[in-house]
Structure formats: structure tokens, C-alpha cells
Amino acid sequence: MNKVKILTVILVSLALTSFAQEKVVPTPQWRPAYHFSPPANWTNDPNGLIYLNGVFHLYYQHNPFENKWGHMSWGHATSKDLVTWKNLPVAIPEAVSKDTVTWIYSGSAVLDKNNSSGFGKNGRGPLVAIFTADQPKQHKESQFIGYSNDGGLSYKMYAHNPVIDLNMRDFRDPNVFWYAPAKKWIMTVSMVDDHLVRFYGSENLKDWTKLSDFGPAGFTKNGWECPSLLPLAVDGNPANIKWVLFVSAGGDHGPFMQYFVGDFDGVTFKSDYANDKVLTVDYGDAFYAAIAWRDAPQNKKILLGWLQSGKPETYPWKGQMSIPHDLSLKTSPDGLILQQLPSAIVTNALAKYAAGKVLVKKNLNLNASAIKLSGRNRFNKNAYWIDAAFSINDSKITGFNVTEKPGSGRTVTVGYDAEKEVLFVDCTGSEKANKSPEHLVQTAPMKAVNGLVNIKLLLDKSSLEVFGNNGERVISTMIYPDKDATGLSVFSDGKATVKLLKIWDMALKGN
């Protein structure tokens, strides 16, 4: 190769390198402080949530090589408090052979205590992962299992996979649990385009029998994914149990999850509601593919979702998990509804991490005014947790301005609109470049109770989660504030009183 060609190659290489460097810009200002995000590269659905020996295991959809979707594998992290996470090596990597690529899609993990599968060693039951194997060259998805005898660090694939194969695409996301009354394992799995949740049963996790189908019902404009079925107590009464079936689907405005409340007899799930009734898990534009830790302390069911990233590219990671939610069912005038609160395990940990940086105020009077809450040494890093009770009096809108930018009028507003009777997140003041018009204002129907409204708000750098009236409504979204957009204030457009305000500063909490 002559010198001119060599020089040309060098110059082109330098130009490409320079271009690549310009495109890849680290974004530490958006890295969450108290939510899980991978150290690097892409993540999406939570998988295989299981609690063992005082440790929460989180597996998750992960690309180990790039900051975009692909090479799907199961990443792995553990935590004792759902706030501080230990990152571990990939637990189940993609499998590549001469003729086949197998991507490890979403699924679940169970502790096979009685070794029904026969995979255990030395008298101990194994962990068994049940997941969808996506094989793009074969144009199909089928259900595989793998087992672990090292505490979930690695999994060996079952020699006779797949355990369920319908020779079709869009058949995915198995979620498995032990159903004691029938002494068998139950699987929910999605027939995506048919808007069906299929139920299978097994005595050994290897041989599965079809039990029934549920659906179509509720929201059916887009395909169904990531189904799971949970028993939940009604109004805190463990003697009154209903079953809740969760389904993810793309909604009218992006990510969407719905749920059904009903009964399950070990074979069939029957909803208590009319077939066209739609019950919404989260009214925002980010929360998706959530599943639960079924076996958490005190028999709690703790839901965890993926918060889908917005337009700006975060680097060196993309994607994060939601705050974990404690789940229950609550009687309302509209029937039984899902109640979701930031998990007590999480809030107890956050209170400790706040290290005394807590603000408590009572009976703050607002008269068409705003009170600044951020300052030089507090609540100025976009990482905090707020719990507030408002008496709305004659005000129309009451709430918080977060990520305020001095002198610009740019802010995200979170609050309650008494006239429209909605909880809302309004991003029009700062996110027009990042969100489509229909996502700029997100609302959830909510009524004040005797003139009182409760708002719990968790801001963590780029994630914003809002819980209204003790978890009756939830709005989750992603925002991308400028580095100097860190202001916080409470406001009302009329007379209102903040009966109780608590803010925990999480700026010192590392990832």
C-alpha cells in the first residue's frame, strides 16, 4: 500500500474515531443514586426475582457488549436492602453456535425446595430459571429451563430443552410459582398477538401441561407481554385473598401495564370485572415489564419494573429499574384497586442513607405563592424523596416544581389539579426536546379525600416517580434536566396548607 493510501486510511480512521468520540458523551448527571442501573451497557426487563437467605436477587435483560439492545442475556445483581446493589457476572449468556443464536429473553426463577426437578445436589434443592429462548434464525420462541447449584451465580441448561415448544414466534415471558393447594408449579406465559395469557402446570418443572387461557380482555390494541399472577390480601386481611394478573402492553401513549383482579383455582383465572374494563398499573410513560419478588420478608409481594429511557442517550449505561413497590388490594367506590407504595424496605434504607439530611415541616400556608425548599447544602442534587399531605382549600393546583433552572422558567411540575381531579406530572417546561407532545403532560384520575391529598415523590437524577393518595395512583417518567437545573419548591395557585412535609436528601447515596 503506497504512502498516499496509508495517509488516507489514517485520516479516515482519525475522522471516524473523532466522530465516535463526539457521539459518546458520558452522562453522570443522569446516573441514578438509589435505583438500580447496570455499570455499563443496555438493560431492560427485570427477570428471575427471588429472595434467598436474606438477599434479593435481580436478574435482568442485558446486553453485555453494547449500550443498545442486542445479545440478550441475563445480567445479575444482589441486594440486602433494595437500594445498594452488588453487581455480579452475567448469569445466563446468549448461546451462539454455527447454526443457531439463542437469546435469553425474559422469565422467572424459583427455588425448587423439594428437588422436584431432580437437578439438586447433596440434598439441596436447586434454583431453576424458566425463560424464553428466542432463536431468530429459526423464527421462533420457546420455553427453556436452566438450573443452578451455586446460589444462582451460574446456570446449566437442561439437556432436553425446550420444555414447551409451539414452533411459533411471539410466545414468551414465562413466570412460574408453586401453587400449594394442587401441589404443582404454575406458569403464566404470553401468546403475544392473540392477547392471551396461557396457563401451564407441572409437577417437576420439566414436563408441562396446558391448563387454560385468559383473554382477550381489557386493553388489546397492542400485543401482551410479561404476564404474572400474584395473590394479594384485600384491605390487609390475609384471610381475604384475591388474585391479580399483570400484563404489559404498549399503550396509546407508550409503555403500559394493566391488571385484572379475580380468582384462581389452580387451573383457570376468572376476572371479577367486565371484559372491557381496563385497570392501569402506572399512568406514566416509562414503567413496563414489571414482575414481583413473591417471597419477600413478611410475605410481602414487591413489584419491580423497567423504566424505559427517553430520547437523550445515557452513557455508559442505558436503562434502569423502578423503585420497588409494596403491593396490596384496597376496596374503593369503584371496586378493588391495586395499591402501590414505595417498598418499606426501601424507604427504611433511604431514611438511614439520608444521614440526618431530612426536612420536616408542619402547617405550611400557601397563598398563591411558592416556597423554595432547595438551598446551597440541601435538596440541590436532584436526588430526594418527598412525602407530603396537602389541604387544598380553594386552590386549583397545588404541588412541587422540581428540576427548576434559575432565571429560565424551566421546571417539571408535579401536583394535584382539584378542578380536573387528577394527579399530574407536567414536563412542558423542560422536556419538549425529549418527549413527544402526548407525553409532556401525564395524568391519573384521583379524588381528594375530605379535602386532603397525599403525594409521595421520588426524584433520582433522571427518574421521577409519583404516588398519589397512598398508592392509589402512580405516575412514572424519565426526565433529563440540565446540570444546573436543581431547584425545588412547593407551591399553590390559591389558598392551601401543607399539613405535613418530609423530605429526605439522597444526594450522598452512591449507586
Name the residues annotated as catalytic: 45
Q: How far apart are CA 297 and CA 293, in angstroms?
A: 10
SS3 of 40, please? coil
Give the side-chain half-sphere CA count within 13 A for 283: 23
CA-based torsion, 304, 306, 312, 315: positive or negative = positive
Q: CA–CA separation, 503 vs 511, rounded Å?
A: 20
3-state secondary structure 380-414: CCCEEEEEEEEECCCCCEEEEEEEECCCCCCCEEE
- Cβ-in-10-Å burial (0-12, 13-18, 19+) of 411 comes to buried
The residue written with cell numbers 393518595 in the block is: 469
Question: Cα–Cα–Cα angle for 436, 441, 442, nearest 5°?
Answer: 105
Alpha carbon of residue 71 to chain centroid: 21
Residue 355 C-alpha cell reads as 444521614
Q: What are phi and psi of 229, to 5 degrees?
A: -125, 130
3-state secondary structure of 123: coil
Q: How far is CA 485 from the centre of its chain?
A: 25
As to burial, measured by CB atoms within 10 angstroms (0-12 exposed, 13-18 middle, 19+ buried), residue 388 is buried
Distance CA 475, CA 457 (A): 10
CA distance 354 to 505: 5
Distances (CA, A) of 158 to 20, 50, 58, 129, 206: 42, 20, 22, 10, 9
Helices (H) and strands (E) in the chain, counts: 2, 36
Q: Is 104 helix (H, G, I), strand (E, B) or coil?
A: strand
Secondary structure (3-state) at 425:
strand
In sequence order, what are the beta bridge partners of 327?
A: 340
DSSP 22: H
Per-residue HEC secondary structure of 228-277 comes to EEEEEEECCEEEEEEEEEEEEEEECCEEEEEEEEEEECCCCEEECCCCCC
Residue 228 CA to residue 240 CA, distance in Å, equals: 20
The gap between the terminal CA atoms of the chain, to the nearest Å, is: 50
Q: Where are the alpha helices (DSSP H) in 88-205?
A: none
